Amino acid sequence: MMTIADQLIKRLREQGVRQVFGVPSGSWLYYMEAMRKEGIDFVLVSNEASASFMADVSWRLTGIPGVCYGTVGPGASNLSTGVVGALLDRSSVIALSSEPPEKLIGRTVQMAIDQQSFFRPITKWTTRLAAERIDQQLAHGLRVAVAEVPGPVHLGLPEDLGSKPAPNPSTYQVMPVIKPGSIDPADPLLLERMEGLFSKAARPLLALGISAVRSKSGALIAKIAEKHRIPVVLTPMAKGLLSEDHPWYAGVLFHALSDRVAETNRQADLVVSVGYDPVEFNFEDWMPEVPLIHLDTTEADIDRAVYKDVCDVVGNIGVSLERLANLAPIASTWDQGALSARSAAMFKAMEPAPGSFGPCAALAILREVLPADGIMACDVGAHTHLIGQMWRTPEPGLQLMTNGCSSMGFGVPAAIAAKLCRPDKKVACVTGDGSFLMMAGEMALARRRKLPVVFIVLADQSLELIRLKQEKKGFPEYMTALYGDECPTAEFVFGVPVIRADDADQYRAALVKAFATEGPVIVEAHIDASEYAQLIQRKHK
């Protein structure tokens, strides 16, 4: 007899789902057994927030909606952290949570909250599954999750649902595979207006965002930059769309040394935003008051009282870019030599000083040791701002971060999910000791699965980004120190070996050893954090 649990899990497998992340409960056991029989891997995490972060990264690396689970009440509320992340980082996630059975809805029940109301503001859609409508509800949820702009969907599972017989098993039919829908080209009149504005500009600037990554437009963007001789800036989550060594690469907005990038921004007489999502960084915080051509699947979210000349080219980004690529070269007045010199000087400023062991040295050495096609996941903190500008990323998906949501605790589960999704790749995680404290429990998962992930903990013993913000406001340091004295060092964390490094030579040797190890390794890098104050600049305009 096919149960509802069997039906739901079979449907997920038909969509290409191969992993579900979560912490089980009693009512979830039916679904776990269905996964065991169906060949879907249930990945047991230590905290449900990790499960939803992993589902987010699974979507980014596979293009198949990531699936996560949390039990009723606290399991669901823990899960919500990564669900918010998926909403603001634009990732297609199916979040499942147990809910009280129908007869107890509205009653006072242990652990229970109104999870439909709880998830409504942090998802694109939420519903409570009903036995007779499972296929309809799941299909709709998948379509909503992958449609532009992608995001999370929540499906509530009544606790008595999984064991019930599936309706009409004799008429069971395979559900069509739900894929991201094709996007129609923009209105021809808008495309013509775009071409007119662009052709008249002398110093247009290309600004790339998250949606450009989803459109897989890197080659077209490089072609446009080269043909029309125009610079390109990126948001942190668009890293990899254009090589840092490209002659028209001008830097990353918002992160370290963004004052240097702003020297280019200020010279533009037109901005062409490609898939630019202000969830990372508002237009108004960096863009000069010049006309904007916005190529995306949604209209630009910008203050139109200030920016009065906005051309929203809403539609297929690739088609719009093709139109720009096919135009005759414009009369660009950009000084390519000056741009290249500025970019080179910016990277030079982030090179570690000889004999130093700060965050610049830690990242530079890791970049040398990690293969070019290796994946690096990073957490949130002062180091993130340096990574956004400094870390050379050959293609999208090789540097994983959260910037739309910017939740501490992302890095460790992101790296674990990357290794599960891409077992052939070398994977590293860069995290501060503050973020590592939040997700140290996932070392048990990494050890249990024997996942060869290298976790680099930049141990500066402080919430350094907060301390820097206190300093810039003239406040004394208060409650940012993580330990009463020197950071305690252990040989193992939940069975994962720890290698301590106090200088660059020790660190390099630790990385080489760690990447040659068959299982997970923690490299505890005791860095000098003083570099951050000079590199994290916020003069964007």
CB under 8 Å to 103, separation ≥6 — which residues?
Answer: none
Residue 203 shares a structural domain with residue 159: no
Q: What is the Cα–Cα distance from 233 to 228, expressed in whole angstroms?
A: 15
Residue 14 shares a structural domain with residue 140: yes
The two three-digit tokens of residue 39, written as one number: 């060949």
Secondary-structure breakdown of the chain: helix, strand, coil percentages, each rounded to the nearest 5: 40, 15, 40
Residue 234 shares a structural domain with residue 287: yes
In a domain, 116, yes or no: yes
In a domain, 541, yes or no: no
Q: Of the candidates 113, 138, 171, which is a domain's last residue?
A: 171
Residue 9 shares a structural domain with residue 155: yes
Phi-psi region at 158: left, alpha or beta (left = phi > 0; alpha = psi -120 to 50): beta
pLDDT at 529: 85
Show the low-confidence residues of the chain (pLDDT under 50): none
Smallest Cα–Cα separation from 141: which of 31, 78, 65? 65
Q: Of the candidates 343, 376, 405, which is a domain's last residue?
A: 343
Residue 163 shares a structural domain with residue 17: yes
Q: What is the Cα–Cα distance from 513 to 98, expressed in whole angstroms?
A: 43
Helix axes 188-200, 317-326, angle to 10 degrees: 40
Q: What is the pLDDT of residues 69-108, one digit of tens each?
A: 999 999 999 999 999 999 999 999 999 999 998 888 888 8
Burial letters for 383-421: b for 16+ Cβ neighbours within 10 Å, e otherwise? Answer: bbbbbbbbbbbbebbbbbbbbbbbbbbbbbbbbbbbbbb
Per DSSP, helices labelled H in 257-404 are 258-265, 317-326, 336-349, 359-369, 382-390
DSSP 184-228: PPPPHHHHHHHHHHHHH-SSEEEEE-HHHHHTT-HHHHHHHHHHH
pLDDT at 468: 79
In a domain, 182, yes or no: no
Q: Kindly report the CATH number assigned to the domain that includes residue 357.
A: 3.40.50.970
In a domain, 52, yes or no: yes
Q: Of the candidates 343, 366, 386, which is a domain's last residue?
A: 343
Cis peptide before 454 (omega within 30 of 0): no
Q: What is the Cα–Cα distance from 505 to 304, expressed in whole angstroms?
A: 53
pLDDT at 458: 95
Residue 357 shares a structural domain with residue 216: no
In a domain, 162, yes or no: yes
Q: Which residues constitute the domain of residue 433? A: 350-535
243 φ/ψ angles, rounded to the nearest 5 degrees: -60, 140
- Domain count across the chain: 3
Residue 369 shares a structural domain with residue 517: yes
In a domain, 177, yes or no: no
Other beta carbons within 10 Å of 12: 24
268 touches 203 (CB < 8 A): yes
| Consecutive H or E run containing 466 | helix 464-472
Q: Kindly report the CATH number assigned to the domain that includes residue 316.
A: 3.40.50.1220
pLDDT at 488: 67
At residue 367's C-alpha, the angle toward residues 504 and 377, to 5°, is 110
- Give me the sheet containing 93-99, strands edge to edge: 41-44, 19-22, 66-70, 93-99, 152-158, 125-128
54 touches 66 (CB < 8 A): yes
Bridge partners of 311, per DSSP, are 293
Q: What is the Cα–Cα distance from 429 to 73, expressed in whole angstroms?
A: 31
Residue 312 shares a structural domain with residue 395: no
Residue 389 shares a structural domain with residue 473: yes
Q: What is the Cα–Cα distance from 49 to 41, expressed in whole angstroms?
A: 18
In a domain, 70, yes or no: yes
In a domain, 21, yes or no: yes
Residue 209 shares a structural domain with residue 307: yes
Residue 333 shares a structural domain with residue 358: no
pLDDT at 112: 85
Gap between the terminal Cα atoms of the chain: 65
The two three-digit tokens of residue 344, written as one number: 């080179």
Residue 425 shares a structural domain with residue 463: yes
Burial of 191 (0-12, 13-18, 19+ CB in 10 A): buried
Q: What is the pLDDT of residues 317-335, one digit of tens each?
A: 999 999 999 999 999 999 9
CB under 8 Å to 410, separation ≥6 — which residues?
Answer: 53, 85, 377, 379, 380, 401, 402, 435
